[in-house]
Amino acid sequence: MKGIKTVYICSECEYESPKWLGKCPRCASWNSFVEDVVEKSTGSASVAPRRTAVINSGSNKASKFSELQTPEYIRSSTGLGELDCVLGGGLVKGSVVLLSGEPGIGKSTLLLQICDILGKSKSVLYVSGEESQGQLKLRAERLSVKGDSLYILTETNIENILSEAEKIKPDVIIADSVQTMYSDKINSAPGSITNVKEVAMAFISKAKNDGTSVILVGHINKEGSIAGPKVLEHMVDAVLNFEGDKKQTYRIIRANKNRYGSTNEIGVFEMTDTGLCEVANPSEMLLADRPVDTSGNCAICTMEGTRPIVAEIQALVTQTAFPAPRRTSNGIDYSRTYLILAVLEKRLGLKFYNQDVYLNVIGGLQINEPASDLGIALALISSLTDTVIPDSLIAIGELGLAGECRGIANIDLRVKEAARLGFSKAVVPAHNAKNAAKISGIEIIPVKNVYDLLRLLRTSKNNVKESD
- Among 264, 280, 296, identify where a domain stops: 280
Indicate if 207 and 315 belong to the same structural domain: no
Indicate if 267 and 356 belong to the same structural domain: no
Q: Identify the pLDDT of residue 61.
A: 80
In a domain, 51, yes or no: no
- Among 225, 252, 280, identify where a domain stops: 280
User: Structurally, how many domains does the chain consist of?
Assistant: 3
The whole-number mean pLDDT for each consecutive block of 10 residues of the chain, a chain of 468 residues, reads 70 81 86 70 45 54 82 84 90 93 88 88 91 89 84 93 94 92 83 86 92 91 72 90 79 89 85 87 86 92 88 95 92 93 95 94 86 95 93 94 94 92 94 88 93 86 58
In a domain, 377, yes or no: yes
Indicate if 89 and 209 belong to the same structural domain: yes
In a domain, 141, yes or no: yes
- What's the CA gap between 84 and 89, in Å, rounded? 5
Indicate if 254 and 310 belong to the same structural domain: no
User: CA 115: distance to chain centroid?
Assistant: 22
Indicate if 339 and 270 belong to the same structural domain: no
CATH number, domain containing residue 160: 3.40.50.300
Could you tell me the residue range of the domain that residue 425 belongs to? 285-467
In a domain, 373, yes or no: yes
Q: Identify the pLDDT of residue 468.
A: 53
Indicate if 216 and 236 belong to the same structural domain: yes
CA distances from 136 to 97, 129, 140, 172, 231 (A): 21, 11, 6, 18, 31
Q: Distance from first CA to last CA of the chain, Å, rounded?
A: 84
Indicate if 140 and 95 belong to the same structural domain: yes
Please report, as a single letter, which amino acid is at residue 44: S
pTM of this prediction?
Answer: 0.74
In a domain, 218, yes or no: yes
Q: Identify the pLDDT of residue 91.
A: 92
Q: Identify the pLDDT of residue 44.
A: 43
In a domain, 57, yes or no: no
Indicate if 176 and 314 belong to the same structural domain: no
- Among 280, 298, 314, identify where a domain stops: 280
The edge-to-edge listing of strands for the beta sheet with 297-304 is 327-330, 355-361, 307-319, 297-304, 393-395, 425-429, 443-447
CATH number, domain containing residue 394: 3.30.230.10
Indicate if 86 and 121 belong to the same structural domain: yes
Q: Identify the pLDDT of residue 52.
A: 42
- CB-CB contact of 46 with 188 (8 Å): no
In a domain, 390, yes or no: yes
Q: Identify the pLDDT of residue 246.
A: 72
Indicate if 139 and 222 belong to the same structural domain: yes
Indicate if 222 and 292 belong to the same structural domain: no
Indicate if 291 and 276 belong to the same structural domain: no
